[in-house]
Structure 1
């Protein structure tokens, strides 16, 4: 197993079916409860465990997921309200050094619970046309909302697997 990509690298199918989107929305919807179940009884020692040498620890991973998914939700809303907007990237390796990453993981778990409930509702109600709307990165590459749903479902599962690895190290 590859500790860096325990569920494999992100790969979006070329042809996206409605059943794929429904599955990804379910994964987004259930991530907060899965994270809560996995981390509910963790002590300080376990929150500082890492999944590989020089990787983020469990606390940092949980805060990172919250930050990343807030950005993902915002990007999708921008894509629906602007014509192919250019979205900002961010230095996640710098964000992890900021003081709010020292907070209790409960803060980010609560944020994820509310965000994902809202996000899943939002995604379930998108039309086929809306799923095709795009945003672009500063390098000019584009992403359709349906691809972004796949990306963020994978992202949550990817870091969930990192946390599982860290807790079993």
Structure 2
């Protein structure tokens, strides 16, 4: 299949692959990925001008991608806490496209969502490292899919999610020679 080097792929970091039955060692690796994600994102946007932050990757600007990661990971942290304190809670879904269209995402300073992400991840990593295997086996219900999501699966997904969007920014930087 021909790939156009000027058109971004949907997943420059690769497709998400679920990882059922995580070992304790693999959970520790994924938690380390989540711990590093804010630094990696900050490095990915370091030195970019306002015009560069407004460069579009598929449907969102770099600025919107940064805000999206912060919003999404804050939701995941809260979902994790709900799951640890309630029996299979029904979580609140949100429309990520509408959130990314709000003024803070479209035109705000990326320092704010970067700081938010760093704070959320510090809290989240403390919680993740304190969780037991039984905690990771707990689940929440997602209203859009109607499926139960196990916390170990959410851990795997969000470790990928941060890399996924950071790779989109890296692709734009490489493509434009920034």
TM-score by length of 1: 0.94
Q: Deviations over 1:65-119 (max 9, x none)?
A: 0000000001110000000001111111111111121210000011111111111
Please, which of 48, 51, 54 is the counterpart of residue 57 of structure 2?
51
Is 1:130 the counterpart of 2:112 in the alignment?
no
- Alignment gaps of 5+ in structure 1: none
1:152 correspondence with 2:141:
no
Moved over 6 A (4+): none
Listed as ranges, the matches of 1:1-169 within 5 Å are 3-52=9-58, 55-101=59-105, 102-138=107-143, 139-169=145-175
Deviation of 1:19 after TM superposition, in Å, equals: 1.6
Aligned residues: 167
CA distance in 2, matches of 1:20, 1:154: 13
2:20–2:153 contact (8 Å) kept in structure 1: no
Checking the alignment, whether the CA contact within 8 Å between 1:49 and 1:167 is kept in structure 2 is no
The answer to whether the Cα contact below 8 Å between 1:57 and 1:166 also exists between their aligned partners in 2 is no
Question: Matched residues in 2 for 1:65 and 1:153: separation?
Answer: 11
Tell me if the contact between 2:88 and 2:141 (Cα under 8 Å) persists in the aligned partners: yes
Distance in 1 of aligned mates of 2:46 and 2:156: 27
